[in-house]
Structure 1
């Protein structure tokens, strides 16, 4: 593998070459590489697990820094009785989740199976099955490019929102103002999970929403649910070559429900007068079924066809083999336009689009 080619370093498998490629396996190497790019005035793209990037086929003209730091440290008990866990930014996220459970700590189990690195999780405020990073994240150690200083940002300073954070809001075209070096969580020392907030997961576990379940059982169920939707990367299954959910669930005024069909899924959110809709439901009801493709991009049976919606879940856009970034974005544009035409609701991409746009 030519490590300067970026496609093999992403879960969707698209992206051209990097003008400069640096792999850093220590925090000191990360800081040095960022500072060097800063001094040279070079554009900088941070890459670790590559699960939240769609990179243009033309590649990246600046420096691509792959953060490959690893390590999970179970720390001291905090004043509130929870236990501190420090995770290197480049550590594979799901492995970190597994290690915390093996240590008898709960709180991250519903986030099992999410691809990518630990350092990326606070940027996007990664979430699934009613849980999100903001629920347990204590702080993130970051390198601030503008000042050249390393500092710790606590939960409040990170300004979390739905699939959003201060870190994301200060990132431009994949180039962050704050480079995450490590993340720290406060977890409970108990065999039971955090309260189950997601109805589908609660049903599969045989508990009521809001109740706890065996944390290891929660992980097992979450991994099975994610796999059934093609949301766990499997190198033998092209249906999993994606960024996971391509679109976020729209948060809209509650009055929008009046224009939607009865029974349209909606969920409460913290903002008064707002509700969260299901992007997957909107996509399906706008006429885009699982496996949807376009002429020339619609899968292996069509000459040159390379990309479709997942055959397991309408939120994922998959690389069926040798897809280009243009193929991926063509599907995304068609879906976004169809939902807008059918419901008047604009879908927004969850992954970062590097050198390309919808």
Structure 2
């Protein structure tokens, strides 16, 4: 029997009562409708790179979207590249295609694991770019209304690692909770990418230093991709089955967004960045390390912080969900004691809680 440990990058999770792989939209909708009609727990899974799953059996259906391909609706100097991608496509394959074709705007999002469908839910971002920068629309299945619903970028209320789609995990106006799959299931995503072999302006200082340019400059997109892959690999953020530092869900905690008065209570040297709506963003990694949790914390146990980056909780081989939850609580509570800031997990928590 298939287990969630086999399907997730944290490699935890129990047996699945029913596992289905689909390769068409019609089949995906049929599985969703069948599960919802039977009030059966439903998990629509892409790359499994953002899930911490319980050790207990999942008494429901897990459906994996295996649809692939990129459909180019238009490509012109005036309109750019107008592409539509099914939710099951591997995200990094989209980036590879974009760099090869001269479609600019997502090159700094290289090496991020997972599927296309997950990117707008989290408004995935890294090294100064977010998918929301180039997102045109998301076509979804509305489980509540039982119909197709398409959202334009402005309707998604995209923010730092959040969106309308992500918020639909929780109870809707009728009081129904949809987790572990949100009310709006992503079917396909439309992106609008400028035609250019040079990157979007480099916004991230670390990336600019690596490239040897000033923030705001443009370089060849292929050079940005190469630099980002190098930076991510150095932090254990590029999947490698032989490297336990990559047996993770990437960054486990989101960077806190604080009210100005709360940010003012942090030590003067703590990182601070304007985050819009009057809020201030600080670094979760900085808080973790300055609360006394260094890289490798937890070793030689089965679950530990990455030896390369304090923001990643890793499975050292044989870890169970309970081990990772214990470590996550230890780090979260330690940061709260030290700085009065409560870290929030980024992955979907399936059958577990912090």
**Cα deviation, residue 46, structure 1:** 1.3
Q: Structure 2 vs 1, CA of residues 84 and 324 (structure 1 numbering), >3 Å: closer, same or farther?
A: same
2:10 is aligned, of 9, 12, 17, to 12
CA RMSD of aligned residues (A): 1.3
CA distance in 2, matches of 1:263, 1:103: 43
CA distance in 2, matches of 1:314, 1:173: 28
Residue number in structure 2 paired with 1:60? 58
Please tell me whether the aligned partners of residues 173 and 355 of structure 1 are also in contact (alpha carbons under 8 angstroms): no
Residue number in structure 2 paired with 1:265? 271
Q: Give CA-to-partner distance per residue, 1:161-211, whole Å, 9 cap, x none.
A: 110011110014322111111111000110111111111111111222122
CA distance in 1, matches of 2:295, 2:49: 21
- Where structure 1 has 5 or more consecutive residues not aligned to the other structure, the ranges are 300-304
Residue number in structure 2 paired with 1:123? 121
3-state SS of paired residue (1:185): strand
**Cα deviation, residue 225, structure 1:** 0.4
**Cα deviation, residue 78, structure 1:** 7.1
Please tell me whether the aligned partners of residues 87 and 117 of structure 2 are also in contact (alpha carbons under 8 angstroms): yes
3-state SS of paired residue (1:157): helix
CA distance in 2, matches of 1:80, 1:134: 20
3-state SS of paired residue (2:292): coil
Report whether the alignment pairs 1:278 with 2:283.
yes
Residue number in structure 1 paired with 2:29? 31
Say which is worse superposed, 333-342 or 126-135, in terms of deviation: 126-135
1:158 is aligned, of 156, 159, 167, to 156
How many residue pairs get aligned? The number is 346
Q: Give CA-to-partner distance per residue, 1:39-59, whole Å, 9 cap, x none.
A: 212111111100010010003
**Cα deviation, residue 151, structure 1:** 2.7
Please tell me whether the aligned partners of residues 46 and 176 of structure 1 are also in contact (alpha carbons under 8 angstroms): no
Residue number in structure 2 paired with 1:302? none
3-state SS of paired residue (1:41): coil
CA distance in 2, matches of 1:247, 1:217: 29
Please tell me whether the aligned partners of residues 77 and 195 of structure 2 are also in contact (alpha carbons under 8 angstroms): no
- Where structure 2 has 5 or more consecutive residues not aligned to the other structure, the ranges are 170-177
TM-score by length of 1: 0.94
Q: Give CA-to-partner distance per residue, 1:56-91, whole Å, 9 cap, x none.
A: 000311111111111112220479522111111111
